[in-house]
Amino acid sequence: MEPPEQKNTQAGQSLCSSPVLDYLNQLHQEYTPLNQGQVATYIPELAKANPDWFSICLVTTSGAVYEVGDSRQSFTIQSISKPFVYGLALEDNGREPVLQKVGVEPTGDAFNSISLDPGTGRPRNPMINAGAIASAGLIAGKTSQTKLRRILETFGLYAGRELSLDKEVYGSESETGHRNRAIGYMLRNFDILSSDPMPVVELYFQQCSIAVTCRDLGIMAATLANRGVNPVTAKQAIRGEYVESVLSVMGSCGMYDYAGEWMYNIGMPAKSGVSGGVMAVLPGHLGIAVFSPRLDSHGNSVRGIRVCQALARHLDLHVFNRPSVGGSIVRVRFTAAQRTSSRVRTPEESQALHQFGSQVRVYQLQGNLAFGTMEELVRYVIEGLDCFSYILIDLKRVLTLNESACRLFYQLVCKLSALGKATVFAHAEQLPLLRRYMKVKLEKSFDEQYRVFEDLDLALEWCENQLLETTLPGAMVAHVDEARDYQLFGKFTDQEISVVVPRLKRQSFLKGQTIVKAGDPAGELFFLSRGNVSVTVKMASGITKRLATFSAGMAFGEMALIDRAPRSANIVADTDVDCDVMALDDFENLGISHPGIKIKLLENLCLGLSSKLRKVNRDISVFD
Amino acid sequence: MEPPEQKNTQAGQSLCSSPVLDYLNQLHQEYTPLNQGQVATYIPELAKANPDWFSICLVTTSGAVYEVGDSRQSFTIQSISKPFVYGLALEDNGREPVLQKVGVEPTGDAFNSISLDPGTGRPRNPMINAGAIASAGLIAGKTSQTKLRRILETFGLYAGRELSLDKEVYGSESETGHRNRAIGYMLRNFDILSSDPMPVVELYFQQCSIAVTCRDLGIMAATLANRGVNPVTAKQAIRGEYVESVLSVMGSCGMYDYAGEWMYNIGMPAKSGVSGGVMAVLPGHLGIAVFSPRLDSHGNSVRGIRVCQALARHLDLHVFNRPSVGGSIVRVRFTAAQRTSSRVRTPEESQALHQFGSQVRVYQLQGNLAFGTMEELVRYVIEGLDCFSYILIDLKRVLTLNESACRLFYQLVCKLSALGKATVFAHAEQLPLLRRYMKVKLEKSFDEQYRVFEDLDLALEWCENQLLETTLPGAMVAHVDEARDYQLFGKFTDQEISVVVPRLKRQSFLKGQTIVKAGDPAGELFFLSRGNVSVTVKMASGITKRLATFSAGMAFGEMALIDRAPRSANIVADTDVDCDVMALDDFENLGISHPGIKIKLLENLCLGLSSKLRKVNRDISVFD
């Protein structure tokens, strides 16, 4: 049976192969001559395996699948089923009830050792047969058929395709599995199994006889590396909270009496099976599977172990060899003295923001927010408390956030609020956990204290406005009464004003009305007398982005008068708006009738453009 | 003895305490009433400990120290010395020779079990006394004094302060340590110790009697979390390559017969001691220490275990519960069609870059580059191979890089080079490992293939220039012969040209000469006839930053003519340069004598400013 086609990074799709695939091919070649070990013979069906089969598969948590060799060869999963069934038992029963039936201590004994606790009869761990049979006994389902179906479905979620039993191997297992039946009765004797042990042992034989490929195992391993979400299909195979438990027993007990050395040399939770598979997991990074049926005396695949060792060494995969996360979550930090919103400010406002803008501190975060990464942000904020009044946290680039990160955010909000300082979030909607956490914790003060803006720009403008209200009270003008107060008429004499005023025509727009439409021919220059307007463009992504917001006293639509090009963006009334409008022809004619006025107008235009250019240059420098 | 004052995040330094410290205080209060367990009595000196002592210390890999309770109370390190001495033995001997003397398999037995391998007499692991004594026997040094001094020095590097022996405890240990002497002779019998075992056992008593505080242990744990570099002092206490080995034995054998359950519930490599200390490590994130002398029947601190459990649960610290690193290393990606260097381009060049700029792909990377994170970059590059000719990798924001990341970079460079495509690096100087790796691997082609630029802007300009040479051959003009070719005289009539030409004066500058100096009064407008000039500013950091580079045909220094402000930046000749210069007075007077010409000049100026503004707005959008 061929697995369905999936997203796959193999040669032939591009001009050249991936270095990752090259590397796996090289490893495959290097270890192909290694033909020590024996194919398992304790079940007749297993002995039929071709001892030369050999494949390697590496799957990342971002869903790239690299596979070489006989990676689509079907074989039975055998003991590698144990962690997955244990995970399902945890989901079905919860952690405590499972721990009462199966321990989590390594034994240092071989895979088929019985290893029951002398007092309670509890198997030492779920990776030995006794513990695996006890785990199978914990799978929910009214009938044996239901239980098997649930196991198959779960394994299918891990593998990203429908899986089925290899009936020959199952028959062979069942025929020869007397030792496991003995274990079953021993577990029944201690009440670890609370009903007839025979159907449970059969279910165990069945779970071991599920047919998989090396590719399947790689994806299954990557699903464990990805907190239970299959990175190829994006489907959840096991609840994230149980993944650490499954990996813990793999880490301490997964490689039988080889577990300590395995953790020491390879440093990844792993599981092997007698059919020749080995699966290893580097949490957060990747899953690995190797398939080669020749086994060593421990019952582990000879090539499997060697290839895992080589991978771990070459690729630095040891779970305890991780670089510091310090300095990794703040993508950009700046104050409103360094960068401001796209609200165009009057010179006085700009001056005030330049002077007092450090009261607004902005942190754009990135990556995964957890205690270890968040601590640094919290420290910056607490250490700088006497230097700011507003803290703005942009979550746009955050990939994940856990509850301990939520708790730190909540505590920050409360502490700052008690000191009369405001916390503001941008792009919080993509992290619903944060909203839920804040809602529960802040209770009645939620609406007031959990300030959330759609994007950084709007959040920054809100902070600026708050700041300007305290530092420049009354300076944010609502309307301009006299033409001489328009910035473009700066330094105009009374006589010059009296020339331009008759050329202005009053136009009014309602809130939400489009004043200028992208693509339209340009026919006028607008002086904003009352209200606000925003320049917006529609991005390729479909999102409307604000380029600038103008307020009373400013002019807009002026560039089209110089380059005679159609309008390049939409301009929309944010409020009810009054404008004084100068027609293109009047603007042109000024050059002939009153060249001095036109020169002054153009000089003011240059000054305006140049100050915008300086602002954007300053804005961009915070990213570098 | 009080430890020296160090960087410390405690209350009182700021307007309010850190939420992290609040949390630890809360935990401390919560577990203070827990007074089960008994102070160790097997050594009389230990029995003198105050059973109520209780402290918690958490230290991050970025060097923040949070401590509550009796965190400066001195106590002897006892068994927590074992992993650190084992680490020193690894450094002194290498991994293989140490593994021949001490195994790495958990025993499931109690701390004082002898647990030697029946055949070889090799202690099962270095965390049991037998293995720890064998490790002490592997410490290099001519005399016992030297060995002790080396251990004290190493522990001091971990703790960030000078440590010393508690002589009373040592005396007491030595008086009562008959079982350990028996172990010493047993190890001598099997030749695990190759000389008189008694001095080795004494050294072991001494290492156990080193006095530390809970704060010390927290910093020591954080040093292990930080790949062997003390995050407070930035000094290396153990070579990074051995840290994973030390943590592996802590992970599999650190908590005696409680190891499996510890890994399952708490999920961090840890070590406890009979004096009441517990230390736990979350690699890459943090170190934790708890001190409370009352012990449970396993010999572990009762509060220590409970506080570690609470911390692990509240803060999600399990080492196997890590979010995906996918999507975490590319900070910004764009092509030269989206953002260009600060080299100011002619309209034709801009058009060509807009059209063909997607041939240049830029990736700014961030964080820690390892196989799991780099794979994604490699995949983007390989999958898009037929769409680009130049790949630019900016390493400015990269925190660390390991050898497997270097290997992938090397393989990319080779593969792209074989296809006639260029790889270019910016800010590579901060990662000397990459240079060394490339030098060794590329050998003779190193200089040609390892293209490195000081910053992203220069690297991007190089790629643009390469692209323009192929797409616009000959278009990058070296000089402008006629005034009509100056952009600012665009659409001028012959008659208008003949008015301005007499007002231009030729000035020449040598390469490197400063043409305009920031702060000087502005007296002229420059038209660049031949060569390149760059506008630069000195940043607060002392670094000189290029704002723009102009080439033949462009004008500079023009804004000062309009705002009459002093020069805002330096302008330096990048090459030998010829300019046509118009004096401020001539520019002013044009408005009176030839207003039409001045209007055209100002309109062209507006067009130039507006196109610069559009460029910077486009540039900034790649960051959002």
State the Cα–Cα distance between residues A430 and A439, nearest whole angstrom: 16
For chain B, how big is the Rg over CA atoms in Å? Answer: 34
DSSP state of A12: T
List, as ranges, residues 19-78 from B with C-beta within 8 Å of A: 19-20, 22-23, 60-64
Percentage, residues of chain A above pLDDT 70: 96
Q: How far from the centroid of its chain's Cα atoms is residue A85's Cα?
A: 27
* A61, A385, A407: residue with CB nearest B16: A385
Which of the residues of B are catalytic?
79, 82, 204, 256, 274
Q: Using an 8 Å CB-CB cutoff, list chain A residues near B13.
A: 383
State the Cα–Cα distance between residues A624 and B339, nearest whole angstrom: 13
Which of the residues of A are catalytic?
79, 82, 204, 256, 274
* B225, B399, B403: residue with CB nearest A316: B403
| Spatial contact of B110 and B160, defined as CB atoms under 8 Å apart | no
List, as ranges, residues 162-221 from A with C-beta within 8 Å of B: none
Place of tokens 């929309």: A572
Nearest to B272 by CA among B111, B105, B55, B104: B111
| Spatial contact of A367 and A328, defined as CB atoms under 8 Å apart | yes
* CATH (one of 2.60.120.10, 3.40.50.300, 3.90.580.10, 3.30.540.10) for B483-621: 2.60.120.10
Phi and psi at residue A568, to the nearest 5°:
-100, -10
- CA neighbours closer than 13 Å in the CB half-sphere of residue B480: 24
Nearest to B567 by CA among B518, B609, B526, B618: B518
State the Cα–Cα distance between residues A281 and A267, nearest whole angstrom: 9
User: Is A60's CB within 8 Å of B326's CB?
Assistant: yes
Q: Which tens digit of pLDDT belongs to each residue from A94-121?
A: 999 999 999 998 876 655 667 788 788 8
B543 and chain A: CB distance < 8 Å anywhere?
no
Q: Using an 8 Å CB-CB cutoff, list chain A residues near B375.
A: 20, 60, 62, 64, 286
| Complex ipTM | 0.90
Q: Using an 8 Å CB-CB cutoff, list chain B residues near A407.
A: 19, 314
User: Is B19's CB within 8 Å of A415's CB?
Assistant: yes
- CA neighbours closer than 13 Å in the CB half-sphere of residue A566: 7
User: Is A263's CB within 8 Å of B244's CB?
Assistant: no
User: Is A610's CB within 8 Å of B64's CB?
Assistant: no
Q: Using an 8 Å CB-CB cutoff, list chain B residues near A321.
A: 227, 240, 243-244, 283
Cα angle, residue B265 at apex, residues B37 and A221 outer, rounded to 5°: 160
Residue A613 confidence (pLDDT):
87
Q: Which tens digit of pLDDT belongs to each residue from B63-76?
A: 999 999 999 999 99
List, as ranges, residues 316-355 from B with C-beta within 8 Å of A: 316-328, 331-332
Residues 6+ apart with CB under 8 A from B563: A607, A610
DSSP state of B518: T
Nearest to A572 by CA among A619, A523, A612, A526: A526
Q: Using an 8 Å CB-CB cutoff, list chain A residues near B19.
A: 378, 382, 407-408, 411-412, 415
User: Is B378's CB within 8 Å of A19's CB?
Assistant: yes
Nearest to A317 by CA among B267, B246, B408, B371: B371
User: Quick one: pLDDT band at residue B109, thresholds 50, 70, 90?
Assistant: low
Does B542 have pLDDT greater than 90? Answer: no
- Residue type for A34, please? L
Residues 6+ apart with CB under 8 A from B383: A9, A13, A14
Does B123 have pLDDT greater than 90? Answer: yes
Q: Using an 8 Å CB-CB cutoff, list chain A residues near B283.
A: 319-322
Beta bridge pairs of residue A287 = A59, A281
* B16, B314, B619: residue with CB nearest A382: B16
Q: Using an 8 Å CB-CB cutoff, list chain B residues near A408.
A: 19-20
User: Is B599's CB within 8 Å of A595's CB?
Assistant: yes
Q: Chain A closest CA to B599's CA: distance in Å?
A: 6
- CA neighbours closer than 13 Å in the CB half-sphere of residue A507: 18
Q: B3-13 burial, b for 16+ CB within 10 Å, e for fewer?
A: beeeeebeeee
User: Is B106's CB within 8 Å of A103's CB?
Assistant: no
Q: Which tens digit of pLDDT belongs to each residue from B258-290?
A: 778 889 999 999 999 999 999 999 999 999 999
* B325, B411, B613: residue with CB nearest A61: B325
Dihedral, CA of residue B558, residue B559, residue B561 and residue B566, to nearest 10: -120
Phi and psi at residue B539, to the nearest 5°:
-80, 165
- Residue type for A185, please? Y
Percentage, residues of chain B above pLDDT 90: 78
Nearest to B82 by CA among B185, B224, B213: B224
Q: How far from the centroid of its chain's Cα atoms is residue A400's Cα?
A: 5
Residue B113 confidence (pLDDT):
66
* B23, B606, B623: residue with CB nearest A623: B623
List, as ranges, residues 455-514 from B with C-beta within 8 Å of A: 456
Q: Which CATH superfamily is domain B19-315 in?
A: DD-peptidase/beta-lactamase superfamily (3.40.710.10)
* A60, A105, A617: residue with CB nearest B260: A105
Q: Which tens digit of pLDDT belongs to each residue from B595-614?
A: 999 999 999 999 999 888 88
Dihedral, CA of residue B471, residue B473, residue B474 and residue B477, to nearest 10: 20
Residues 6+ apart with CB under 8 A from B253: A260, B104, B105, B106, B107, B124, B125, B126, B127, B128, B259
User: Quick one: pLDDT band at residue A8, thresholds 50, 70, 90?
Assistant: very low
Where does CATH 3.30.750.24 sit in chain A? 330-471
3-state secondary structure of B143: coil
Does A13 have pLDDT greater than 60? Answer: no
A269 and chain B: CB distance < 8 Å anywhere?
yes
- Residue type for A168, please? E
* A245, A370, A383: residue with CB nearest B264: A245
Q: Using an 8 Å CB-CB cutoff, list chain B residues near A547.
A: 617
Nearest to A128 by CA among A117, A144, A114, A140: A114
- Residue type for A403, please? E
Q: Taking the CB of residue A119, how many other CB atoms lie within 10 A of it?
A: 7
**Which ranges of B167-319 would DSSP assign to H, the alpha helix?**
167-176, 178-189, 197-208, 214-225, 240-253, 259-265, 302-315
Does B9 have pLDDT greater than 50? Answer: no
Residue of A nearest to B369 (CA): A323
Does A10 have pLDDT greater than 70? Answer: no
Nearest to B106 by CA among A108, A124, A256: A108
Q: What is the mean pLDDT of chain B?
A: 91
| Spatial contact of A565 and A522, defined as CB atoms under 8 Å apart | yes
Least confident of A188-192, A258-262, B481-485: A258-262
Does A303 have pLDDT greater than 90? Answer: yes
**Could you tell me the two tokens for B138?**
């592997």
Orientation angle between helical segments B81-93 and B144-159, nearest 10 degrees = 110
3-state secondary structure of A39: strand
CATH topology for A330-471 is Transcription Regulator spoIIAA (3.30.750)
- Averaged over A318-335, what is the pLDDT? 91
Percentage, residues of chain A above pLDDT 90: 77
Least confident of A16-20, A185-189, B180-184, B193-197: A16-20
User: Quick one: pLDDT band at residue A537, thresholds 50, 70, 90?
Assistant: confident
Q: Chain A closest CA to B170's CA: distance in Å?
A: 32
Where does CATH 3.40.710.10 sit in chain A? 19-315
Nearest to A312 by CA among B126, B442, B99, B245: B245
Residue B98 confidence (pLDDT):
98
B610 and chain A: CB distance < 8 Å anywhere?
yes
> What are the DSSP E strand ranges found in A137-292?
164-165, 210-212, 270-272, 277-282, 286-291
Q: Which tens digit of pLDDT belongs to each residue from A384-432?
A: 988 999 999 999 999 999 999 999 999 999 999 999 999 999 999 999 9
Residue A5 confidence (pLDDT):
41
Residues 6+ apart with CB under 8 A from B89: B98, B102, B126, B135, B136, B138, B139
Where does CATH 2.60.120.10 sit in chain B? 483-621
User: Quick one: pLDDT band at residue B6, thresholds 50, 70, 90?
Assistant: very low
pTM of the full structure: 0.91
B537 and chain A: CB distance < 8 Å anywhere?
no
DSSP state of A329: S
User: Is A617's CB within 8 Å of B13's CB?
Assistant: no
DSSP state of B2: P
A285 and chain B: CB distance < 8 Å anywhere?
yes
Q: Which tens digit of pLDDT belongs to each residue from A497-528?
A: 999 999 999 999 999 999 999 899 988 999 99
Maximum CA pair distance of chain B?
110
User: Is B375's CB within 8 Å of A60's CB?
Assistant: yes
Q: Using an 8 Å CB-CB cutoff, list chain A residues near B624.
A: 456
Residue A618 confidence (pLDDT):
84
Residue B236 confidence (pLDDT):
98
State the Cα–Cα distance between residues A335 and B607, nearest whole angstrom: 31
* A284, A408, A418: residue with CB nearest B323: A284
User: Is A415's CB within 8 Å of B243's CB?
Assistant: no
Nearest to B130 by CA among B81, B179, B175: B179
